[in-house]
Amino acid sequence: MLCAVCSLGIPTFAQKNDPNQKITADPQTVVVTGTFQPTPLSELNRTVVSFDNSNEKLPDYFSYVDLLKSDSSVDIEQRAPNGVQADLSIRGANFEQSLVLLNGLRMNDAQSGHHDMDLPLPLEAVSRVEVLHGAGSTLYGADAAGGAVNFITTPPTATEFRLRMGLGNFGFNQEHIVGAFLAKKWSERITADRDFSEGFIPDRDYRSSSIASETFVATSLGSTDILVAASDRPFGADQFYGNFPSWERTKTWFTSISQELGSNTDAAFAYRRHSDEFVLFRDDPSIYENNHISQSWQADLRRRFTFHHDWKLSYGAEGDGDEIDSNNLGHHERERGAAYLNLDLHPAQRFTMSLGGREEVFTGNHAEFAPAIAAGLWLTNTLRLRASASRAFRLPTYTDLYYSDPANIGNPLLKPESAWDFEGGPEWNPRGRLSAQVTAFFRREHNDIDYVRTSASTPWQATNINYIGFFGLESAAKFRLPRAGDVELAYTFLHANQQVQAGLSSKYVFNYPSHNATFGWTGQCKRLFSIRTRVGATQRVEQGTYALWDLSLAGNQRLVRPYLQFSNLGNTSYEEIPGVLMPSRSIVGGLEFIFRPHS
């Protein structure tokens, strides 16, 4: 059964207390996010959390949102369950300041950041997810002010066929299919899913479906990866963007090809098309309807090599462009090109440092420079300190610039955002069964884009806020209990030291969680079935605290595996977007059928 287990991203160090012994990394913990080259997590000087989605012995997650909930610095602001129109926030940055990647390729939508999590491929197509905390523009360009989430696919390891079918309350039903084929020089994975619900209240129904095909081929140049994916998601949008009984339908088409050119060079190209049909009054579309089609492309060339005692140099160039055709926004397009250079240094056995910079040039000769510096120092074989400073930037979306409806008005005079991000803290790993980390961070934002208004009867107006400073503290710990499973704890505190101008209210920026804590446990019951449970408590700014309890069980049988999933088991009444009520307790149960011809 495809599933995910949260790895808190804590490195494992050598246990021998010889001060001259070289610190070695855990060979099983290698990440590609937050670094220009695949790097052991114990050598990474940035905060990265990794989620493994390939452990079939644990219960499935329903969506990307369920998987990311275990990271207390990630805030998923949902308007419906299973990731329907969900906004992603990292360390208090709003949804347009958090970058979404697929195999390192940009997925952010040029029309609106509300569509950034509208991924076209099923969760079963993804092998792992890595979350970079803090600014990532040096690596990935615009939009990564608060961080980046990288969804990563890898070749299948066996030929198999899986079919999962389930039913639940609120008229919910699901069908998920995975087919993997493994040959000597190539492999193929085909995934498809369909999730349907009548809605827990009127005008909150949805039908989500997606399909993806990914082909991996071994060539004389290196590996080739070809991905084609598409999704279709109509849903009731009552209260989503104001006090209206709305309806919306999004469609996404995505294709990419990545090619190794020898051992040190990679090239990639991607194309994404996204359509958004929005009806303000579902029962009478003639009153107000918008149709938007956005398209984007991206081409990357990356090179790296190692020299002088494991020093590493990475450099590359990128080009991308986007355009939109809309009855509301009009036709617009823009292009940009970038070049970057990064040097990873090991001047001493217990000290590492990286220096990097990225220059990005946009249509109209506007340019942004994003430098970064990070360092790590092992105080002992079990205690490490790390710190970093970096700059990030974001362009306004086309909705920010040009959109207009009875509830929201864009602003074509908006300036790009910029931010400086600073972080540092210790990592502790005294034994293989225990790991912990604490990170303090500060982000100084300039020209932050938000929607503000003077009263509830006036529309929201896009504007630049001159200065906002976010201070935060995040902590995480993981315990591997003998014969009792894994326990995970995480807590993040956030505070903004600048509010909106007196007399104005904010729509997005100041909806961040000031306190967010999670507890998770995974284990087995006499090897008959696996259990995963998570309890999270969240307090948003100037709002009360609410707690959510989720529980999943799945059988460990080889051919037919029953499963049960409970969401919001405590039946909490809560909102993640102000004014948008979330569902009460929900229960889903079903069966997964597994066929492996060679097992």
Residue 230 structure tokens: 């598409």
pLDDT value of residue 5: 32
For residue 490, is pLDDT > 90?
Answer: yes
pLDDT for residue 17 is more than 60 = no
Q: How far is CA 216 from CA 157, 190, 227, 257, 295, in A?
A: 12, 12, 9, 10, 26
- Mean pLDDT for the chain overall: 88
For the segment 162-181, the average pLDDT, to the nearest whole number, is 95
Average pLDDT over residues 169-198: 95
Query: CB within 8 A of 496, min separation 6: which ones?
Result: 92, 468, 469, 470, 509, 510, 512, 541
Instruction: Please compute Rg for the chain using Cα positions.
Output: 23
What is the per-residue pLDDT for 60? 73
Q: What is the pLDDT of residues 37-92, one digit of tens each?
A: 888 777 789 999 988 887 766 677 778 888 898 899 999 888 888 878 888 999 99
Residue 1 has pLDDT above 70, yes or no: no
Which region among 67-76, 183-192, 251-260, 478-487 has the lowest average model confidence (pLDDT)?
478-487
pLDDT > 70? residue 101:
yes
**CA-closest candidate to residue 93, choices 24, 22, 40, 149:** 149
pLDDT in tens, 316-353: 999 999 999 999 999 999 999 999 999 998 888 889 99
Residue 464 has pLDDT above 70, yes or no: yes
Of 199-203, 385-389, 430-434, the least confident: 430-434
Question: Which pLDDT band holds residue 15 (cuts at 50, 70, 90)?
Answer: very low
CA–CA separation, 423 vs 46, rounded Å?
A: 8
Q: Which residues contact 166 (CB under 8 A, 6 or more apart)?
A: 172, 173, 174, 563, 565, 588, 589, 590, 591
The percentage of the chain sitting over the pLDDT mark of 90, rounded to a whole number, equals 68
pLDDT tens for each residue of 21-47: 333 334 456 888 888 888 877 778 999
Query: CB–CB of 498/510 below 8 Å?
Result: no
Give the side-chain half-sphere CA count within 13 A for 243. Answer: 5
Distance CA 471, CA 442 (A): 5
Is the pLDDT confidence value at 2 over 60?
no
Residue where the block lists tokens 């005008």: 203
Q: Please say if the pLDDT value at position 483 is more than 80.
A: no
> Mean pLDDT over residues 265-277, rounded?
96
Higher pLDDT, 311 or 246: 246
Residues 397-406: what's their mean pLDDT? 92
**CB half-sphere exposure, 23, CA atoms < 13 A:** 25
Nearest to 527 by CA among 578, 466, 485, 488: 485
Flag whether pLDDT at 299 surpasses 60.
yes
Q: Looking at this protein, which amino acid is placed at residue 483? A: R
More confident residue, 147 or 432: 147
Q: Tell me which residue has tokens 């009153």.
A: 287
5-595 — its CATH code? 2.40.170.20
| DSSP reduced 3-state for 114 | helix
Residue closest to 353 by CA, chosen among 45, 22, 583, 138:
45
Question: Strand, coil or helix: what is 41?
Answer: helix
Side chain identity, residue 215: T
Mean local confidence (pLDDT), 372-385: 93
Q: Which phi and psi angles does 169 have, rounded to 5°?
A: -70, 175
Contact 66, 550 (CB under 8 A): yes
Task: Give the mean model confidence (pLDDT) for residues 122-139.
Answer: 93
pLDDT of residue 501: 67
Question: Taking a C-beta distance cutoff of 8 angstroms, is the pair 43, 31 a contact?
Answer: no
